[in-house]
Structure 1
Amino acid sequence: MQPPEIFDRRRRRMRRDRIIAEFTAYDFLHARMVEETLDRLASVQRPFERALDLGCMDGKIGTALRDRGMDVISADPGFRFAGAAGGVQCDEDRLPFADASFDLVVACGGLDQANDLPGALTLIRRVLKPDGLFLGAFLGAGSLPRLRAALLASEARAVARLHPQIDVRSAGDLLARAGFALPVADAERVTIRYASLFRLLGDLRGAGASSLLAGSVTPLARTALARAAEHFAAAADRDGKTAETIEIVHLLGWAPAPSQPQPARRGSASASLADALRRPKQD
C-alpha cells in the first residue's frame, strides 16, 4: 500500500512552468545554493566525467559543470525547465536512469519538495557509480520562522499551509539510511530583511517555493492575511523591516566502493566536511 503523498506533483510541475519566465528575478536563494555547491565540488581532488543535474531549474549548475569538462544530463520536475536545459522531466523520487549511470549527482533546491525523500536519496545512490559523489542542498528546518509564526497566529488551520521541514541531523541520518558512505550534512543560515509580509510571499511565489501540499487548501482569507501581515510587521526592527531566516542544509555522500575507508562507530566521527571533500579518487 502506497503511503499518502505530502506534495501535489501536478501542482509542483505547473508552478515551475509558470515561474520560468521571471525566475531570474527571484533565484537568489537557489543561486546561493548553486554557488556554495560548486565551491564544495571545487574542493574535491578528483575528476568527474558524467554528471546528473537534478532539479536543474535555470540550468546554471549544469552550465558550470559543462564548463569543467563534464558530460551533463539535466532533469527537472517542470516540463519547461527540463526542456530549456535540453534535459529530462522527472521527479527526484522517480528517476528514469539506469543504475551506475553517473559519477556525480548534484541536486540544488528541490529535495525538500520530494514526496519520498528517503526513496529519492536511495535512487540517487543507485544511479551513482561506485565511489561516485552526491552533493545536495535544500531549505531545512528553521527556515521562515517569522512567516510560520505569522500564519499560525492568523488562523486555526495554518498548519495545513506549512511544509514539513527536515533538520540537519535528520538529513544526515537519511543519507546513511540510503546507503551512502562517509555521509556529511551541515547547514548555513541566511538572513533576509523584508519591508512587509507581502514582499516575502512574492519572493516565495516567484521562486516556486510557496505551498505545494496535497489536498484542497482554500486561499488565505483577507482578514487572516491582514492578521498575518500585522503579526509579521510587529517583529520589525526600527527601520520597519522584519528579519527572516533561511536555513540551507547541505548534503554530501559517496556511493559505496570496496576500497573506501570503513565508517567508525556512530558518534565517534572526527572528520570535517573539508576532509570528506578532499578524498582522492579510488583506483
Structure 2
Amino acid sequence: MRGLSRPVLRAGWCGRLWAPPRRALAASPPSPPAATSGALSPFDRRLKRKQKNWAALQAEPAKCDYLREEVGGRIADRVFDITRTFPLALDVGSGRGYIAQHLTKETVEKLVQVDVAENALKNAVETEIPTVKVVADEEFLPFKENTFDLVVSSLSLHWVNDLPKAFKEIHHVLKPDGVFIGAMFGGDTLYELRCSLQLAELEREGGFSPHVSPFTAVADLGHLLSRAGFNTLTVDTDEIQVNYPGLFEVMEDLQGMGESNCSWNRKPLLHRETMLAAAAIYRGQCLREMYGNSDGSVPATFQIYYMIGWKYHESQAKPAQRGSATVSFGDLAKIEGLISRGKK
C-alpha cells in the first residue's frame, strides 16, 4: 500500500479513424437506452456526465486531481515497459489528460482522447503529443476496427453500465498485436467511508442505503478480458491511501474528482445528524477508534486494479500443446536435491 497526502487538433490524420455510420457520433455523446434501477444498468450515465462536467469547470480543477495523476503516471510506466513506439493511441475516459501528461512523443506519436464530458476535454492538460479530442461514451467507441496500436484507460471504466461491452469495443478498435493497459477502482475502495456511513444510518435511521457505487471484483476481470478476446493477460492490484482532515473533506474531494455516486438506487439526501455521526465514527471518536490516525487525520483507501491485455496476432508466442512437457513437476524436487548435493 502506498500513501498520498491531500494537497492543498490536427485534422490531417483524424479522417481515417471514424467507423461506418453504424457507429456514427453525434454532436453530443449518444444517450444510453432508457434505464431503470437494476443490475443491468446500475449507473445514471447522464448524471455522471454532469458530475464530470461540473468538476472540470471549477476554478481550480487540478486541486483534486492528485489521485488521477498518480494512477495516470503508473499507467504511463506500464506503457514505457513495452519497448516499442506506438504510432496511434487511444485514451478511453481520458478526463483532463492524466495519462497523456506522463507520456512522450517518442513513445506515443499521436493520441486520441475520448471522454463523455466535453468540459474535461476542453480543459485538458497540455502535452507534447499531437492529440484529437472526441466526446463519446466508453461503451460506444466511434472508431473503425483495427485502428489503434495502443489503448489506455485510467479510472473511468468502473462507471460504465456494460463492462463486457466496453472491453469488446476496446478490443474491436485495437490492431492485431495491439495492447490495452487500463486501471479502475476495485471493490475495497473507500471501505472506511462506506462502513462509517452505514453504521451512522443504522444508528440514526434504523437502516442504510448504498452511498458508494458497486465495483467489479478482481476475480472477474481476467474472465471478462478473456471473453472480449484479449490474451496474454496480466491483472494486479494496488492500494493508495490518502489522509484527510475528516469525512467532509473526503466527500468534497470525491465531488471535485467527478467521483460522486451516480447509482440509480443512491439515496438523494443524508440527514445532518447522520452525517455528523458518520464523521465521528470515521475520525475514531467512537466505536473503539475504528479508522482515525494518531495525528487526527482519517485515511481513505483506494484499491486500484491494473490490467494488460493483447489482441491476438500470429507473431505472438503461443503456449505449448497440452501434454507436450518433457519434465513433470514431480521431478523438480529431485533436481533441487541434485543441485544441493552439487554445491556441497
1:233 aligns with 2:283: yes
What does 1:2-151 correspond to in 2, within 5 Å? 4-20=40-56, 21=58, 22-65=60-103, 67-68=105-106, 69-85=108-124, 86-151=132-197
Alignment CA distance shift 1:181-1:158 (3 Å): same
Q: Percent identity?
A: 33
1:35 and 1:202, CA in 2 relative to 1: closer, same or farther beyond 3 A? same
Q: Find the aligned partners of 2:265 and 2:187 in 1 and give their Cα distance.
A: 23
Structure 2 residue runs of 5 or longer lacking an equivalent are 1-32, 125-131, 285-290, 323-344
Q: Secondary structure at the match of 1:87?
A: strand
What secondary structure is seen at the aligned counterpart in 2 of 1:70? strand
Contact conserved, 1:169 with 1:185, CA < 8 A, in 2? no
Aligned counterpart in structure 2 of residue 164 of structure 1, from 194, 200, 214: 214
- Closer/same/farther in 2, CA of residues 109 and 162 from structure 1, 3 Å limit: same
Q: Structure 1 14/263 Cα, relative in aligned 2: closer, same or farther at 3 Å?
A: farther
- Within the candidate set 281, 287, 299, 1:243 is matched to 299
- Structure 2 partner of 1:277: none
In 2, Cα distance between equivalents of 1:111 and 1:49: 24
Counterpart secondary structure, 1:160: coil
Larger Rg: 2
Matched, 1:209 2:259: yes
Residues 195 and 241 of structure 1 are in contact (CA less than 8 Å); yes or no, is this contact kept in structure 2? Answer: yes
CA-to-aligned-CA distance 1:46-76 (integer Å, 9 cap, x gap): 2211000111111242354463351111110
More helix by share: 1
Equivalent pairs, count: 266
Tell me: higher relative CO, structure 1 or 2? Use CA pairs within 8 A at least 6 residues apart: 1
Question: Contact 2:42 / 2:264 at 8 angstroms: preserved in 1?
Answer: yes
Q: Distance in 2 between matches of 1:162 and 1:195?
A: 20
Per the TM alignment, residue 182 of structure 1 is displaced from its structure 2 partner at its CA by 0.5
Is residue 2:198 matched to residue 1:152? yes
Instruction: Work out the CA distance in 2 between the residues paired with 1:212 and 1:257.
Output: 39
Partner of 2:228: 178
Deviates further, 66-75 or 36-45: 66-75
Measured in 1, the distance between the counterparts of 2:240 and 2:87 equals 33
Q: Is the 8 A contact 2:75 2:181 kept in 1?
A: yes
Secondary structure in 2 matching 1:155 = helix
SS in structure 1 opposite 2:267?
A: coil
Return closer, same or farther for 1:84/1:161 CA change in 2, 3 Å cut-off. Answer: same
Q: Is the 8 A contact 1:8 1:215 kept in 2?
A: no
Q: What amino acid maps onto 2:81 in structure 1?
A: S
For the aligned residue pairs, the C-alpha RMSD in angstroms reads 2.2
Aligned residues of 1:100 and 1:127 also touching (Cα < 8 A) = yes
